Amino acid sequence: MQSIKSNALEPTRNEMRGLPWWQQAGRLLPVYGLPIITILLIIFFSLLLPDTFPTFLNFHSILSDKAIIALLSLAATLPMMAGRIDLTVGFGIVMWHILAMWLVTKTGIPWPIAILLVIAAAAVVGLVNGLLVEVAQIDSFIATLGTGTMLYAGALWLTDGRQIIGSLPQGFIGLNTTDIVGVPLPAVFVVVLAIVLWIVSERLPIGRHVYAIGANEKAAALNGIPVRTYIIGVFVASGLIAGFAGCVLAAKLRIGQANVGLDYLLPALVGAFLGTTTIKPGRVNVWGTMFGVIILAVGISGIQQFGAGFFVTPLFNGVTLVVSIALAAFAQRRRAATKVARTELETN
């Protein structure tokens, strides 16, 4: 049972050839609609809030605050490429940042080793998710909801319902506080990871195979693609990224607390789902996910600077999630209708 299909709607060169410029622009508008809306939102808020929004401080704050959500969105994107969903990216970050804090402050383990242990533990959970989904044939939503809930329970047990507080090495804190040419280090992590995932997904055979599984698992298997290996692999990779994001979150918060999961689960999924509506509409893609996170960050930052209430952020995320899923579903139906029309034309 697939959670998400992977079908691209971007127009081909043959479809664009010979069309007037206004028709070409109309065909490209769904492809680049989200980046255009993002630019318009930036201009809009900059005009209305000239003293606070278009500033380096606000730019730096947005990059720093939303980098962890971007990492989790990229983690969620990988299973979605294969037609699966991973809810442990949100639940897991609760455990991973608490585990990182506990290892660094309570055991005396050097912080680089502690980070490696956290990432390794997250990879093991990803492996378990992959086995549950592919070997036990449990729907990915149910499987990852179950493992995610167990991770949350483990975080509560480890903290005993309290905060984990202690002295952190400066190098560990630097994961969040360091700037490179004025850009926060977590944002640099996001850009590097996005480039790597884009190369793997769009330029290497492994990416094409994962997309083939997401589009039609049975056809992919008949073409010799090792479906089980790839599905387990994307869950492990998702776990690796989520584990690293948990370490960055620990460096940011400097405490371990078990009440932060929902603050990251919904925005991460919204960014990934919203990404299916742009760049390659109807298909999960890395740069679409990045623009999904950016438009969330810009929109929430602007709304908050207008003095909106504390409930606006979850409301904005929830509404955006519903809209993004509706647009993705519309894109898939449009893709199916386009395929039927092409088949009829070729037959006639």
Indicate whether 44 belongs to any domain: no
Q: Could you give the CA distance from residue 88 to residue 144 in angstroms, rounded to a whole number?
A: 6
**Predicted pLDDT of residue 7:** 46
Indicate whether 122 belongs to any domain: yes
Average pLDDT over residues 188-194: 97
pLDDT of 327 higher than 70: no
Tokens 């590097």, residue located: 192
Indicate whether 101 belongs to any domain: yes
Indicate whether 10 belongs to any domain: no
pLDDT band of 345, cuts 50, 70, 90: low
**Predicted pLDDT of residue 169:** 94
What pLDDT digit, counting tens, does each position of 219-268 carry?
A: 999 999 999 999 999 999 999 999 999 999 999 999 998 888 667 888 89
pLDDT band of 274, cuts 50, 70, 90: confident
Average pLDDT over residues 34-57: 91
26 Cβ contact partners less than 8 Å away, ≥ 6 residues apart: none
Q: Could you give the CA distance from residue 298 to residue 69 in angstroms, rounded to a whole number?
A: 13
pLDDT of 8 higher than 60: no
pLDDT of 346 higher than 70: no
Indicate whether 102 belongs to any domain: yes
pLDDT cut 90: percent of the chain above it = 59
Indicate whether 247 belongs to any domain: yes
pLDDT of 99 higher than 90: yes
**Predicted pLDDT of residue 294:** 93
Burial 214-243 (b: 16+ CB within 10 A, else e): bbbbeebeeeebebeebbbbbbbbbbbbbb
What pLDDT digit, counting tens, does each position of 297-309 carry?
A: 998 899 888 887 7
* Local structure of residue 220 (DSSP, 8 states): H
Indicate whether 7 belongs to any domain: no
pLDDT of 5 higher than 60: no
Q: Look up the domain containing 196 and give its range.
A: 55-260
What pLDDT digit, counting tens, does each position of 149-181 carry?
A: 999 999 999 988 888 998 899 999 999 999 999
Average pLDDT over residues 196-212: 95
What pLDDT digit, counting tens, does each position of 56-91 carry?
A: 999 999 998 899 999 999 999 999 999 999 999 989
pLDDT band of 6, cuts 50, 70, 90: very low
**Predicted pLDDT of residue 81:** 94
Indicate whether 284 belongs to any domain: no
Q: Based on the structure, what is the number of domains in the chain?
A: 1
- From residue 280, how far is each of 8, 11, 31, 283 by CA, in Å? 6, 9, 6, 6
Residues in the chain: 348
